[in-house]
Amino acid sequence: MSAVNQSGWRPEMSAAEASAPTTTTGNRALMLEEALIFEIGDTDTTGVDFADAPKVIARLSGLERARKIGIPGLSEPEAVRHYTRLSRQNYGIDLGFFPLGSCTMKHNPRLNEKMARLPGFADVHPMQPVETVQGALAVINELAVWLIKLTGMHGVAMTPKAGAHGELCGILAIKAALEARGDPRTVILVPESAHGTNPATAAFAGFTVENIPATSEGRVDLAALTARLGPDVAGVMITNPNTCGLFERDMRAISDAVHAVGGYVYCDGANFNAIVGRVRPGDLGIDAMHINLHKTFSTPHGGGGPGSGPVVLSEALSPFGPLPFTERHADGGYTLIEEETAGERHPHSFGRMTAFHGQMGMFTRALTYILSHGADGLRQVAEDAVLNANYILRSLENSLEAPFAASGPCMHEALFSDNGMAEGFSTLDIAKGLIDEGFHPMTVYFPLVVHGAILVEPTETESKAALDQFITALRSVADRARAGDASLKSAPHFAPRRRLDETLAARKPVLVWKEPDLAVAAE
């Protein structure tokens, strides 16, 4: 095993930290405090120069602004410094290991960024005549073809803006298909290990959500599911591989049982990275599945989006997919099927889910990623992702309880619990301890089926050395939690902030900045 640290540092050197002096500014060398723009900016300062506006008689309906808005500005050097300082208070994949389970935080290739910024993609208006955007439509179409072939499905809806929006798309397609055959059904079955967006989506579309229990080995209970199936069940929403990191072995049987009672199968594709190039959801009887381009296909997560959630559809659901979409002609040209042409070409569409044509900037990045890997590379992606996760599972199963370790190999993520920690110590303390060790914590307390869940998804873009370092660190933090090391309760010690008071934030919400005297007056 490679050394945890190669710089010459030894653990006893930490003792020196405790006696470090305080500073006047609150800064600590490279760790710099930064005020809010409202505290350092000024409404008369600007970092952009414009030509003088021509003198005209305003045609603003008499609504010309006289009052101040209250938005401060900074000169360019001040602005660059402000945001650069803020950026350094963030952890990102570029900085280190980011094993957030079910989030697939893999390396974001910079070629993707470069391609998305080509003026022919970045500087094109969505309402330009289609003759002037043939290359953009070609990107959408080419990506669509890849997604269809990789999943073995019939069609794909490209416009959903993120995973949850994709779920909504799939569920609306199911609802539209049921309505089209005059068979309104009311119930969607969701396993208890599902991501919270699944029940939220089904409820948003007007369905009643019923939970399906898991077996002791962490999979959907097929018997419980089939027992609940009936003419009121519109469908099931299943995540496969599931959020326990396991492949649903009975997926085909589940699909067949649901189809037999006239329902549809929605698959949450958040974990597609585990099987891309090795398994096609279409071969498992799936009717609809969203693909998070910001997970499997490496488009950056950006601190909370933008995502992109195209939905692949079975032959049964394809006619109901949303507008718009692209169509390729025999002559190599592309058309955009919008409201105007939908009547003849796509009469059963359930409608439009968003303005314009979807997350083009994400399509460009995802296609670049896919072409870089090719069919062979994508298969290797799944294999390395699964290999890395199993390596973590087997390396740590003696340090942390792995409730489903006996259920077989895991897929792309390894699940542990916090059972066995000292009284008062839990997953949260382990997560905060890992921050001090220089790692982004894993997903915590999800899925809900495991006590104090610790869900580690390494992805394929981590080296063995990076995994070894993480394993060593997590093992040592778990040991401290088991031993009841009090210093772990107050971790992190070395992050830009110590533990934050989330209760205070929720009890007295302060969501916008107010001038100090106004803030006091409002109390």
Q: Which of residues 226-255 bind other proteins (CB under 8 A)?
A: 246-247, 249, 251-252
The position carrying tokens 């002037």 is 132
The position carrying tokens 């402000």 is 82
Does 60 help bind other proteins (rule: CB under 8 A)? yes
Q: How would you class 455 by CB atoms within 10 Å of its CB: exposed for 0-12, middle for 13-18, buried for 19 or more?
A: buried
Does 80 help bind other proteins (rule: CB under 8 A)? yes
* Cα 180–chain centre separation: 33
Q: Which is nearer to other proteins, 293 or 421 (CB)?
A: 293
Q: Cα–Cα distance between 392 and 414 in angstroms, integer? A: 7
Q: Which is nearer to other proteins, 10 or 497 (CB)?
A: 497
Q: Are 362 and 293 contacting, i.e. CB atoms less than 8 angstroms apart?
A: yes
Side-chain-side CA neighbours of residue 170 (13 Å) = 35
In the window 187-226, what residues touch other proteins (CB under 8 A)?
195-197, 199-206, 209
> By C-alpha distance, which of 213, 290, 279, 230 is closest to 251?
279
Q: Cα–Cα distance between 474 and 4 in angstroms, integer? A: 12
Length of the chain: 523
In the window 497-516, what residues touch other proteins (CB under 8 A)?
497-502, 504-506, 509-513
Of residues 4, 154, 259, 277, which one binds other proteins by CB under 8 A? 277
Of residues 172, 212, 291, 396, which one binds other proteins by CB under 8 A? 172
In the window 447-506, what residues touch other proteins (CB under 8 A)?
460-464, 466, 490, 492, 495-502, 504-506
> By C-alpha distance, which of 219, 273, 222 is closest to 449?
219
Q: Which is nearer to other proteins, 62 or 347 (CB)?
A: 62
In the window 371-400, what residues touch other proteins (CB under 8 A)?
371-381, 383-384, 386-388, 390-391, 393-395
The position carrying tokens 């899925």 is 447
Q: What are phi and psi of 266, to 5 degrees?
A: -100, 130
Does 287 help bind other proteins (rule: CB under 8 A)? no
Q: Are 395 and 197 contacting, i.e. CB atoms less than 8 angstroms apart?
A: no
Six-digit token pair at 460? 């394929």
In the window 334-353, what residues touch other proteins (CB under 8 A)?
338-340, 350-353
Taking CB under 8 A as the binding criterion, the range among 14-22, 256-264, 304-312, 480-488 that sits at the site for other proteins is 304-312
Q: Which is nearer to other proteins, 12 or 22 (CB)?
A: 22
Taking CB under 8 A as the binding criterion, the range among 10-18, 222-230, 295-303, 475-483 that sits at the site for other proteins is 295-303
Residue 171 Cβ, how far from other proteins at the closest point, in Å? 9
- Total residues contacting other proteins by CB under 8 A comes to 209
Does 329 help bind other proteins (rule: CB under 8 A)? no
